Amino acid sequence: MNFFTILKDILAPKKCYSCKKEWHFLCRKCLDKIWYFHSICPVCKELTHDFEVHFYCKKETVFLDKVIILSHYQNKTIQKLIKDAKFYGRKDILEDISLYLWEKLFDHIEENTQDIILIPTPMYFWKKLKRWYNQSEILVKNMSKICQIDYNNSLVKKTRNTKAQSHLSKIERMENLQKAFSIDEKLIKKFTHKTFIIVDDVVSTGTTLNEISKLLKKYGVKKIYGLCIASD
């Protein structure tokens, strides 16, 4: 923590969105009160071990191995935290959430930190320019600092501007993302032996995560997990 961060915390301390106590946007006590997301298969939504895709749910169109989720998007506190961080410039909210995501991740994986690489869900350059930042990139950077895990923000890029996924059906989402991502072919060769963790804020059907996973597995990546703050 640098001097300016400390000064900011003294002059304008963080306050928990739920209980209003200082020093965290979401304190651990309030986080513990929020209903944690059960370990479910991202395909059939039934209970599973460590958020893994059931072996009988693995089809030719499913490329993710698991999707680890911290909490429920229906929770009003979680909703407001994500919206403020994503749309209203409150990037410092993501610092608190990064710690909780890291803890959630290591409760549900067996890999060592040196065997993992974190990547953000990429944003189309024009959208990122208008917002000034990609919240997934901030989460990845913060998590990397906390637990000393490798990360890469340029390995996967979004090459086409797409419609917002939230208002589309599952089939429309799949069509919307076709050929929307690209991979740095030279760079990917350095990381194919690693377990990839794709980090995002909210996941619904998992179409975006799966499309990126499809591309990564095409280049030889064996294991790919999603890690998200919330899902509905």
What pLDDT score does 179 carry?
78
Q: Which has more pLDDT, 12 or 121?
A: 121
**pLDDT tens-digit series, residues 31-79:** 888 867 889 999 999 999 999 999 999 887 899 999 999 999 989 999 9
Per-domain residue ranges of the chain: 1-26, 34-231
pLDDT, tens only, 150-192: 999 999 998 887 767 666 667 767 766 677 789 999 999 999 8
Q: CA–CA separation, 182 vs 159, rounded Å?
A: 7
Tell me, what's the pLDDT at 82? Answer: 94
* CB 32, CB 22: distance < 8 Å: no
Q: What is the pLDDT, as a whole number, of residue 1?
A: 52
Distances (CA, A) of 78 to 31, 132, 156, 229: 9, 22, 27, 9
DSSP string, 19-83: T--BT-SS-HHHHHHS-BPP-B-TTT--B-STTBPPTTT--TT---SEEEEEEETTSHHHHHHHH
Q: Tokens 């690209």 identify what position?
A: 182
* C-alpha span between 151 and 62 (Å, rounded): 24
Secondary structure letter of residue 121 according to DSSP: P
d(C-alpha 170, C-alpha 193), whole Å: 31
Separation CA 38–CA 44 (nearest Å): 13
Q: Across residues 199-219, what is the average pLDDT? A: 91
Angle at the Cα of 50 from the Cα atoms of 46 and 53, rounded to 5 degrees? 55
Distance CA 155, CA 30 (A): 36
Q: Which of 215, 202, 103 is nearest to 155 (CA)?
A: 215
Which CATH fold topology does 34-231 show? Rossmann fold (3.40.50)
Q: Are 160 and 180 in contact (CB under 8 A)?
A: yes
Angle at 104 between CA 149 and CA 188, to 5 degrees: 35
Chain CA centroid to CA 145, Å: 16
Question: What is the value of pTM for the model shown?
Answer: 0.89
- Report whether 118 contacts 139 (CB < 8 A): no
